Structure 1
């Protein structure tokens, strides 16, 4: 029973440490996520600035994995080159050691104060920056509290014979220590938490200094494994250059230092009286040494990575998602950006669909001209399904109020474009094909009216895509003005069609039903395009969107 209680105390303290780390990460992401990503993107033009930005952002997020996901996403989209992206990762590795350095001092007394400040800020209202910063302070307080509990648990049970025997057996095998620490760090997704745990064990003498150093090396490897494994499912090896480029130096450096651990322990003992400080400094020096050695060699190192992971030609499948990186789901700001990029691909596919259907409306067209439209509609269906699956897989607890709004905007945009594609394929294409099969021809006036209205669709689609990206109120007003002008033109075209019918025009009478169906389809497509992006922008500005004159398809 005492052993079981000790195990529960230990497991509970470790869980509290992990949860505190998680709260700090999510709080910083919600409060400053978009700004951090913009800062990172601006710094990636030079390797020295990229290195500093990676260290600073990781110190705030307490997660080199989060920084790596942002960097990998930017690099895979071609926004930044491989060399500065690797520099960011070197900085991120060093930044993850800064919080360990802070916690290596006796700051446990600050835990109640940090939690109190965090609770006060957290209760100031959901969705505010103070609310998010409250999570950060609560997380920091919980981390200090967990470390204090770990030290107490270790002091009570450090002389237990079974524990001593187990740790003594493990301590004699540095390679096993390294592998064990790497596996644990990969499982918990936090090298900070694992290194802090090793510091607690070393401070109580439960783990020998040589074993503690080996654990630190393993933690450095483990935190770089997860991004590589999550990227294996990607179709292009080039997308794994940044995570693999981050992992390789850590593995090589750790294996090179393993035989030297006894010498490093003796050297460290001459400088440090406290084992916990020695562990923290070894963690920092290891990452700093890798950065100093590798920063000047990043250009040839990047060339080596390009040879090891070359660009792979991929069959041109427009329905295959390109930007929905599974690894980015851990960082909402990156995942939402990826989904936005994928939704814009749907706008491109719908534009190609409209370009394909226009010839079917012109004189002299053939039924076979409509064949590519069905394939493009399938592209829209597949992309829409992939975006929805990707977004619903995000952790709701990781999303702030702004993230929820953006997620809903993306779903709305993608759904409306998919519905517009259905109208093009099942309505417009079908009605136009019916006219061609029956050998009917629109009247010259009706033909011009239909094409004039149709030619407004692509400009309006481009305007909606731009508004979806910028969320600018002026763009929403302009798009609704275009819809109002379009509705007036449609109404006038309908009135002129009826006038031709009353005058007894034979060509108008023969194609009247198809003409009105095509006119309705074009108007429905335009409504779906406008409604895909404009209403959320107007609603957030406190303006009620104008009511749609048509019921959108379900």
Structure 2
């Protein structure tokens, strides 16, 4: 019975450590995820900048897996070359060791203060970013608390026969220990938590440095497996180049280090004999040395991965272009027609997003929002492919009419992407907030929002027809739709202030969310009009530079005098 209680106690402490690590990672991703993703994308111009970007982002996120998945997405979509993406992963591997270095010192006394500050921030702050940072502080407090409790529990149970048998098994088979740690890291999705657990065992003298280092190598192997398994799926193996390349560098490094592990263990312990510190130092040194050694060979590694994992078009992937024939670029008029046909796929995808948004207005299905975000990714990938295709056409081969049509295609494609971004970055977070707060729109509000979404769908079809026909009359009809959305926003604002004056706080919160959605719908409609109707009206001299009426002649003369 005591053995069962001991196992439950240890498992509970380890679970608390894993949960704290998870809270830190998710809190940082929610608070800074989009900006970190943008920063990482901008930094991928060369391998040195990419290395330090990967290190910095992972030091903040505390998840090399998350950084790896972001970098894999960039590489798979063609946004960056494979060499800087591989450098990002080398930096990410070093970055994830930094918090291990911090927690290798005795900072357990800070646990209650971190949890207290985190709870205050989590419960009292109206700012979503502060709320998410509160989650980070709570997670850090849990991690420190779990480590302290693990030390106490291991001290209490270290003399038991079962524990001695388990440790003897680890000591007798270092390769099995390595694979066990790799499996645990893969299952936990956190090399940080597993390395902290190894540090705890080493600090209590329950495993010697040689055994601890073998377990640490397993943790490094396990964390490289996650992006391979969880990255983009499909028949196109080129999407796996980055995670497989990172896994290969880990395997090579682990193989070399494992062969010389006894000598390395004696060197490391001579530098620092503290059990926890020596594990943290080995973990950091391993990843840093691998990065330094591999960095000069990223180009041949990249070429090898391209040969082994060739690009294959997945016909079932909606994000893959279907009509952008590279051979057609020699005949620009054919290439432009192919690009225009591809843009209509953007129209279909965005139409599905609008329909899905309408269905999600009062739905309780969170998965529906995830599906809509995936469709926005499809928009981004198709728009990128269209822009790359059109800008690769030799401009000297284009006539004046061809250049004008090329600009029209680019403008409409970009306008659809911007409209999709408004839906993804503004509308969907509002709907997610509604779900979190348990808000439900009234039948009247839902009906109005549904009608505007239906009108947006109609305007989208009109914009597509205008894109193909370039008819001035259709451009005028589409431009007049701005009046409808402007009126809806004005009436929604009046209704919101009326509810606030009446003191109905619940209705006021609903109307505030309703008003935010009205503004977003108006912005989406403006993108559609600006991308199709305005260029045509401007071409015919029918577009005014300002909506203001001209000042009376007398007033103008008085101003001049």
Shift of 1:57: 0.9
* Aligned twin of 2:344: 351
Work out which of the two has the higher radius of gyration on C-alpha atoms and give 1 or 2. Answer: 1
Shift of 1:249: 1.1
Structure 1 distance, partners of 2:374, 2:307, is 39
Matched, 1:8 2:8: yes
Structure 1 distance, partners of 2:28, 2:171, is 37
Q: Residues 231-275 of structure 1, C-alpha deviation per residue, up to 9 Å, x if partnerless?
A: 484211111011001101111111222221111111122112211
Q: Residues 315-343 of structure 1, C-alpha deviation per residue, up to 9 Å, x if partnerless?
A: 5x5x64559xxxxxxxxxxxxxxxxxxxx
| 8 Å Cα contact 2:25/2:62 also seen in 1 | yes
* Aligned twin of 2:170: 170
In structure 1, the gaps of 5 or more residues are: 324-346, 355-375, 397-403, 415-455, 474-479, 491-522, 547-554
* Aligned twin of 1:284: 284
* Aligned twin of 1:516: none
Structure 2 distance, partners of 1:254, 1:292, is 15
Structure 2 distance, partners of 1:202, 1:72, is 35
Matched, 1:302 2:302: yes
Q: Could you say what the CA RMSD is over the residues aligned between the two structures, in angstroms?
A: 4.5
Structure 1 distance, partners of 2:346, 2:104, is 61
| 8 Å Cα contact 1:82/1:242 also seen in 2 | yes
* Aligned twin of 1:469: 421
Describe how 1:514-529 pairs up with structure 2 within 5 A: none
CA pair 348-149 structure 1, distance change in 2 beyond 3 A: farther
Shift of 1:117: 0.9
* Aligned twin of 2:516: 540
CA pair 266-462 structure 1, distance change in 2 beyond 3 A: closer
Structure 1 distance, partners of 2:148, 2:28, is 24
Shift of 1:194: 0.3
| 8 Å Cα contact 2:94/2:287 also seen in 1 | yes
Q: Residues 169-199 of structure 1, C-alpha deviation per residue, up to 9 Å, x if partnerless?
A: 2211111011111111111110000000000
* Aligned twin of 1:311: 311
| 8 Å Cα contact 2:73/2:232 also seen in 1 | no
| 8 Å Cα contact 1:43/1:49 also seen in 2 | yes
| 8 Å Cα contact 2:24/2:136 also seen in 1 | yes
CA pair 42-460 structure 1, distance change in 2 beyond 3 A: closer
Shift of 1:127: 5.4
Shift of 1:73: 0.7
Shift of 1:111: 0.5
| 8 Å Cα contact 2:185/2:194 also seen in 1 | yes
CA pair 464-209 structure 1, distance change in 2 beyond 3 A: closer
Structure 2 distance, partners of 1:163, 1:350, is 64
CA pair 408-68 structure 1, distance change in 2 beyond 3 A: closer
Shift of 1:225: 0.6
| 8 Å Cα contact 1:174/1:258 also seen in 2 | no
Describe how 1:21-60 pairs up with structure 2 within 5 A: 21-60=21-60
Structure 1 distance, partners of 2:412, 2:193, is 51
| 8 Å Cα contact 2:209/2:269 also seen in 1 | no
Shift of 1:413: 8.6
3-state DSSP of counterpart to 2:45: coil
3-state DSSP of counterpart to 1:44: coil
Structure 2 distance, partners of 1:393, 1:99, is 38
CA pair 298-121 structure 1, distance change in 2 beyond 3 A: same
Structure 1 distance, partners of 2:162, 2:248, is 37
Shift of 1:98: 0.4
* Aligned twin of 1:70: 70
Structure 1 distance, partners of 2:88, 2:375, is 35
Shift of 1:292: 0.5
Matched, 1:160 2:160: yes
Matched, 1:275 2:275: yes
* Aligned twin of 1:504: none
Structure 2 distance, partners of 1:149, 1:129, is 30
TM-score, normalised on structure 2? 0.63
| 8 Å Cα contact 1:24/1:139 also seen in 2 | yes
CA pair 98-413 structure 1, distance change in 2 beyond 3 A: closer
Describe how 1:435-474 pairs up with structure 2 within 5 A: 463-469=415-421
| 8 Å Cα contact 1:186/1:223 also seen in 2 | yes
3-state DSSP of counterpart to 1:270: helix
Structure 1 distance, partners of 2:273, 2:16, is 28
CA pair 279-393 structure 1, distance change in 2 beyond 3 A: farther
Structure 1 distance, partners of 2:269, 2:375, is 61
| 8 Å Cα contact 2:234/2:314 also seen in 1 | no
Shift of 1:539: 3.7
Structure 2 distance, partners of 1:40, 1:65, is 14
TM-score, normalised on structure 1? 0.64
| 8 Å Cα contact 1:321/1:383 also seen in 2 | no
Shift of 1:50: 0.8
| 8 Å Cα contact 1:186/1:222 also seen in 2 | yes
